[in-house]
Structure 1
Amino acid sequence: MKRLSVVFLVCALWFSCLPQAPAHAAGNAVAKLPGNSNPLMDHKLGADPYALVYNDRVYIYMSSDAYVYNSNGTVKDNDFSALNKIHVISSADMVNWTDHGAIPVAGSNNANNGQGIAKWASLSWAPSVAKKTINGRDKFFLYFANGASGIGVLTADSPVGPWSDPVGRALLTTSTPGMSGVTWLFDPAVLVDDDGTGYLYSGGGIPNTSDPASVANPKTARVIKLGADMTSVVGSAVTIDAPYLFEDSGMHKYNGKYYYSYCINFTGTHPAAYPAGEIGYMVGDSPMGPFTYKGHFLKNPYAFFGVGGNNHHAVFQFKNEWYVVYHAQTVSKAVLGDGKGYRSPHINKLVHNSDGTIQEVKADMAGIPQIVNLNPYNRVEAETIGWNAGITTEPSRAAGGPFNNQNVTSINNGDWIAVGNVDFGTGGAKSFKANVASTAGGKIEIRLGSPAGTLIGTLNVGSTGGNQTWRELETTVNNTTGVHRVYFVFSGTGTGNLFNFDYWQFTANSSSATRVEAENMTLGGTYAGKISSPFNGAALYANGDYSAYNQYFAFPTHSFTLRGASSNSGTARVDLQIGGTTVGSFYFTGTAPTTQTLSNISHATGPVEVRLTVSTDNGTWDAYVDYLEYTN
């Protein structure tokens, strides 16, 4: 992206970012405008998105669309030659997305500079990812297409890797039983059913575009059962007779039914029920079919964004809501004036009707409102970005970060990054620290609301001795309370990269409390659900019902306050569990809401799960919980 901005945008879009401009003359966002949630990112591209939900986060995996250049430096139409890795981003709130970099999948012919994982593959198109617990451990499986010639699989112990190739060759080829006759053996989708059995969907293409029967019923989609290890197949693939199939297999399960979805082809004249380039869907009682065509739910991107191309999607559920992730050429259109086939990820809400049909999705740039606030008192990776101007990301050698840690780079005067709905609480923040590396130096201005908004603090960044020589720096900030959009505006007089930015964190005033609403947590158990009375919160009705979220604790001792009530005149017990250990219990008697505090509780540090679990002890099970607050 940065190379493209230098060639095309210095004068047209980012003239306000010239080195001598004052910091308040900040640059402009390219495509994801502040306040909007789509596209999910615009500092780089990503196509064929697929969603995995794990531990209160959504992970999006994408083909590595990247601009391809002519010899004269102009961008040519996408030839898909750069799709040999998988981009990964994740979010807990659907607005601020953490960049986890690229998985170097393809390894044939020295692809990915010799770091490619699958040495037999030259490409990695259209990923799909699943999690399965095997022998008590969560394992992750990434399926990808080697062009249109076969499907491979990688495995890992976390959603971001490190990944390995357990098979050493393609998992599916046209020689796999039942796969003969598939025109394009690509675009995998994976389902792990409730009983733990895995199913892999793939295929596409029209065997004979001049034959109307072949166009109407290509019969090139397949489903095959996976072995218990998820890296082998069982039996023979079954044909899915999807009318007017083009590509892009999708699968989700809703109310006991199996929804196979796909992109309808563009060839010939179609009946109205099969509109060209839209996402159609079929429903069945078994993951291997048969499936019955029901309709369509996502129009071609052209209908919404004025630039078309192919359509690719995945349906997923997150925090009791359904969504569809898809791609559109919005970033490339904003940068080039013409999409040229380069795609970026978007998410919009998806609704199932009471009869099981799916409503038409209303795709737009507004996207999904932020569903939980961001906690500034936890370490936040700088590559967690809601909106930005001018920057990009790169692999980082800074210590202490996640696997394949990234840092923000290509920082010039007037560039900025921003995050949405940062909750400073009622006590407020007193200081700010950041991990930076530099040979030039500059400043980070911390502003609220906009790049020129209220200045609450400035961090001076001097030379650290190298662009990967890291130093944590700190500055005081004006006492800031409440919820704000926070901008980090960069300034400096150098003509190159001013510095690199790894992570940031605010320090709270000692009286500051951080609140997490129960209805925004993950609810689990037999009868757990959301309530609107006597407050907006969660109901934990049965023994073992819980509400939980993931938290990073830098310190081992906090005080915890829970607001709650019993559903009747009895006493309900709610256990506070941190990192799998019960550290205390709250007791609520009667239906009137009360708050209870556990003071100076010792607990595990680092990334842990915080869980509120209703217990069998002390009377009734039924508990209502409103929010949990913790203070230092």
Structure 2
Amino acid sequence: MYRLCGITLLVIALILSCVPINQASAASSAIAKQIGNANPLIDHHLGADPFALTYNGRVYLYMSSDNYEYNSDGSIKDNTFANLKSVFVISSADMVNWTDHGAIPVAGANGANGGQGIAKWAGASWAPAAAVKNINGKDKFFLYFANGTGGIGVLTADSPVGPWTDPIGKALLTTNTPGMAGVVWLFDPAVFVDDDGTGYLYAGGGIPGGSNPTQEQRANPKTARVIKLGADMTSVVGSASTIDAPFILEDSGIHKYNGKYYYSYCINFGGVHPSNIPPGEIGYMVSSSPMGPFTYEGHFLKNPGVFFGAGGNHHHSVFQFNNEWYVVYHAQTVSLALYGSEKGYRSPHINKLQHNTNGTIQEVTANYAGVPQVSNLNPYNRVEAETFAWNGGIQTENSNAPGGPINNQQVTQIHNGDWVAVSKADFGSGGAQTFKAHVASASGGGKIEIRLDSVSGPLAGTLNVPTTGGSQNWLEVETAVTGATGVRNVFLVFTGSGSGQLFNFDYWQFSNTSSSPGTGTTYEAESSTQLTNAVIETIYPGYTGTGYVNFNALTGSSIEWNNINNMTTGTKNVKFRYALESGTRTLDIYVNGTKILSNEPFSATGSWSTWGEKIVQVPMNSGMNTLRIVTTGTEGPNMDNITVTASF
């Protein structure tokens, strides 16, 4: 994922907001997704050629990895698509707050993606499309992508965010596939799984005739194809059928409505067009069969330049979510806001789509307002920091924080005045009592101001983020909050001294004793444990239960829990609640008598009465387990309790 340096981002944000750099309390500006709008979906990085998959109450978007390209003098280049070697993934349950799932390193030829590319034969990954199908009683996920314009590959996974593997080790479709002869650009796949479980793959585009096509070649390129997929979704059956899409350029799309199949595509720009097939717009055809023949019906989405002042190529996907129809497409709104001109860098947008009673599609109005939020966010659940509606100044990147989801991300490049915000968090009538966050700071630390309604709105609380001793040395810290009731937009505003990066941010969660969901089983350190050279104390406040355990300044001191009961065997998250005034102290961690972790560091929480949390992952059996922690230096932190939960 692209990264502008933190100083550059800060300077851009400050210039845009006309705020002096030395005004430490000034908030960074959003780039293109302004507060209250739903479009573009994200602006902290790009994403082109979006394709939507709905699954288990979420919309997942898969996008080409548009990344900025620069000249040697630092000026921006026009997009050459040289960076389209990965697939970006974001998802949402409400259509306004989006979670960043990072990049899938698809292309693997010639050391692409730092040698971590999955498809070792592919040099690029353009215009992804995704599907899910139940095979042998288990949902399997399939990601189709274009290797430039020369073929279509497929990856598989057991979840919509991976991890992904290459099941066949080569392209699924090439120009040698039966029925594919005559396709100029074998790219831009779309995938569809019908009600009977049969899969179909659509692809193709381009205009015959080279650099000087005839009017007939522009009007009837005959370069779109559909082919039936095998039951495994990673093979094809029979020969591809030609879709005679008039004036097609690229961008296959497919959806089913009222028993009819709708093939949609980007109309080309050249030649003489009839009025019902306008250049650069999304046209559509209808058939009673997924294999065609299709009949042209009309168009429903003008070129992005009409709505946003930045045109270029068009790419879309039509999908249904919560009984409403939508179209996702890309436009150059983020790069336009940053650079003021069209450079070919795309970002995802969504607007509603409406079918008429006769089956035709109404013209879509694209705009920055986007779509309304379909459900409120639950702030009492763990919320990944990389989930937000709006932001100012931050970036996201891969994280090594324990206990997170697959391909866990973190918010990074956090500087004084940066912020993230979620839309419509529902605190209920009782309201929140505390706020906690999982953070890591190599030096300096800072604060998280919890503000309601706006970046300068009412202050519900302030969380102190201490130095944890490393950018991947994670600590869970907590603070009290007041006033967070009802449905509110929540702004987390980052503050600190100096111009450097303050900390990394993994997740956050509010709590309410009547609303907070179950969070595993908690075992106190001072009860039902075996202590060796350690003592129970009640000197410092803030502990839970009847006290906490002090390791008593002795090497080899230990606490052993003997009654950890699990329903299933597997990896568990163990969250330690502890206090440490300063420095870093290390512990060995044993499970059922076997050392699992050596010299695991516990960073300072700032004082003996400030209780922080640290999560590690360990294997445990079903039934009863033991867990023992042993000091490796001359002392350990004061230990309050542990909480054991299943790993993500």
Calculate the TM-score normalised by the size of structure 2.
0.79
Q: CA deviation at 1:89?
A: 0.2
For 1:507, the equivalent position in structure 2 comes to 511
* 2:390 paired with 1:387: yes
Unaligned runs of 5+ residues in structure 2 are 523-643
Q: Deviations over 1:490-538 (max 9, x none)?
A: 0011322100000000011x3x458xxxxxxxxxxxxxxxxxxxxxxxx
Q: Provide the aligned length of Structure 1 versus Structure 2.
A: 521
Distance in 2 (alpha carbons) for counterparts of 1:505 and 1:10: 28
1:378–1:553: 8 Å Cα contact kept in structure 2? no
Q: Deviations over 1:183-209 (max 9, x none)?
A: 000000000000000000000000024
1:2–1:410: 8 Å Cα contact kept in structure 2? no
2:472 to 468, 477, 480: 468
Over 3 Å counting, the alpha-carbon distance change for 1:341 and 1:133 in structure 2 is same
Over 3 Å counting, the alpha-carbon distance change for 1:485 and 1:255 in structure 2 is same
Distance in 2 (alpha carbons) for counterparts of 1:407 and 1:365: 27
2:256 to 250, 253, 256: 253
* 2:430 paired with 1:403: no
Partner letter of residue 391 of structure 2?
N
1:16–1:414: 8 Å Cα contact kept in structure 2? no
Q: CA deviation at 1:87?
A: 0.2
For 1:149, the equivalent position in structure 2 comes to 150
Tell me the SS of whatever aligns to 1:465: coil
Over 3 Å counting, the alpha-carbon distance change for 1:131 and 1:368 in structure 2 is same
For 2:457, the equivalent position in structure 1 comes to 453
For 2:482, the equivalent position in structure 1 comes to 478
For 1:488, the equivalent position in structure 2 comes to 492
Tell me the SS of whatever aligns to 2:376: coil
For 2:519, the equivalent position in structure 1 comes to 554
1:108–1:118: 8 Å Cα contact kept in structure 2? yes
Q: CA deviation at 1:139?
A: 0.1
Tell me the SS of whatever aligns to 2:472: strand
Q: CA deviation at 1:12?
A: 2.4
1:99–1:406: 8 Å Cα contact kept in structure 2? yes
Distance in 2 (alpha carbons) for counterparts of 1:11 and 1:429: 33
Q: CA deviation at 1:553?
A: 4.5
Distance in 1 (alpha carbons) for counterparts of 2:20 and 2:383: 26
Identity %: 68
Q: CA deviation at 1:5?
A: 7.2
Distance in 1 (alpha carbons) for counterparts of 2:249 and 2:387: 35
For 1:37, the equivalent position in structure 2 comes to 38
For 1:291, the equivalent position in structure 2 comes to 294
1:330–1:339: 8 Å Cα contact kept in structure 2? no
Over 3 Å counting, the alpha-carbon distance change for 1:379 and 1:17 in structure 2 is farther
* 2:326 paired with 1:323: yes
Unaligned runs of 5+ residues in structure 1 are 515-551, 558-603, 609-632
User: How does 1:3-42 map onto structure 2 within 5 Å?
Assistant: 3=4, 6-7=7-8, 9=12, 12-13=15-16, 16=19, 18=21, 20-23=22-25, 25-42=26-43
Q: CA deviation at 1:338?
A: 1.0
For 1:50, the equivalent position in structure 2 comes to 51
Tell me the SS of whatever aligns to 1:478: coil
For 2:575, the equivalent position in structure 1 comes to none
Q: CA deviation at 1:16?
A: 3.7
Distance in 2 (alpha carbons) for counterparts of 1:246 and 1:2: 32
Q: Deviations over 1:199-230 (max 9, x none)?
A: 00000000024311110000000000000000
* 2:421 paired with 1:418: yes
Distance in 1 (alpha carbons) for counterparts of 2:183 and 2:108: 25
Q: CA deviation at 1:22?
A: 3.6
Q: CA deviation at 1:21?
A: 2.7
Q: CA deviation at 1:63?
A: 0.1
1:200–1:226: 8 Å Cα contact kept in structure 2? yes
* 2:436 paired with 1:433: yes
Distance in 1 (alpha carbons) for counterparts of 2:155 and 2:452: 42
For 1:216, the equivalent position in structure 2 comes to 219
User: How does 1:513-532 map onto structure 2 within 5 Å?
Assistant: 513=515
Q: Deviations over 1:578-606 (max 9, x none)?
A: xxxxxxxxxxxxxxxxxxxxxxxxxx987
For 1:619, the equivalent position in structure 2 comes to none
Tell me the SS of whatever aligns to 2:295: strand
Distance in 2 (alpha carbons) for counterparts of 1:298 and 1:442: 46
Distance in 2 (alpha carbons) for counterparts of 1:553 and 1:343: 41
Q: Deviations over 1:541-561 (max 9, x none)?
A: xxxxxxxxxxx742589xxxx
2:191–2:201: 8 Å Cα contact kept in structure 1? yes
For 1:203, the equivalent position in structure 2 comes to 204
2:13–2:31: 8 Å Cα contact kept in structure 1? no
Distance in 1 (alpha carbons) for counterparts of 2:402 and 2:43: 27
Distance in 2 (alpha carbons) for counterparts of 1:17 and 1:121: 47
For 2:247, the equivalent position in structure 1 comes to 244
* 2:236 paired with 1:271: no
1:2–1:390: 8 Å Cα contact kept in structure 2? no
Distance in 2 (alpha carbons) for counterparts of 1:196 and 1:607: 32
Tell me the SS of whatever aligns to 1:468: coil
User: How does 1:365-380 map onto structure 2 within 5 Å?
Assistant: 365-380=368-383
Q: CA deviation at 1:269?
A: 1.6
2:452–2:484: 8 Å Cα contact kept in structure 1? no
For 2:349, the equivalent position in structure 1 comes to 346
Give the root-mean-square deviation of aligned CA atoms: 1.8
Q: CA deviation at 1:4?
A: 6.8
Partner letter of residue 332 of structure 2?
Q
Tell me the SS of whatever aligns to 1:469: coil
Distance in 2 (alpha carbons) for counterparts of 1:466 and 1:157: 33
For 1:92, the equivalent position in structure 2 comes to 93
Distance in 2 (alpha carbons) for counterparts of 1:494 and 1:421: 32
For 1:303, the equivalent position in structure 2 comes to 306
Tell me the SS of whatever aligns to 2:207: coil
Q: Deviations over 1:306-361 (max 9, x none)?
A: 11000000000000000000000000000000130000000000000000000000
1:497 to 490, 498, 501: 501
1:446–1:456: 8 Å Cα contact kept in structure 2? yes
Distance in 1 (alpha carbons) for counterparts of 2:299 and 2:137: 39
Partner letter of residue 488 of structure 1?
L
Calculate the TM-score normalised by the size of structure 1.
0.80
For 1:83, the equivalent position in structure 2 comes to 84
Q: CA deviation at 1:3?
A: 1.7
Over 3 Å counting, the alpha-carbon distance change for 1:556 and 1:321 in structure 2 is farther
Distance in 2 (alpha carbons) for counterparts of 1:371 and 1:176: 43
Q: Give the number of the structure whose alpha-carbon radius of gyration is greater.
A: 2
Q: CA deviation at 1:6?
A: 4.5
Partner letter of residue 384 of structure 1?
T
For 2:285, the equivalent position in structure 1 comes to 282
Distance in 1 (alpha carbons) for counterparts of 2:400 and 2:19: 31
Farther-moved stretch of structure 1 (153-162 vs 204-213):
204-213
Partner letter of residue 217 of structure 2?
S
Q: Deviations over 1:229-249 (max 9, x none)?
A: 000000000000000000000
1:329–1:341: 8 Å Cα contact kept in structure 2? yes
Tell me the SS of whatever aligns to 2:430: coil
Q: Deviations over 1:385-404 (max 9, x none)?
A: 10000000000000111100
Distance in 2 (alpha carbons) for counterparts of 1:471 and 1:21: 29
Distance in 2 (alpha carbons) for counterparts of 1:210 and 1:185: 18
2:215–2:272: 8 Å Cα contact kept in structure 1? no
Tell me the SS of whatever aligns to 1:235: strand
Q: CA deviation at 1:9?
A: 1.7
Distance in 1 (alpha carbons) for counterparts of 2:647 and 2:335: 36
* 2:92 paired with 1:127: no
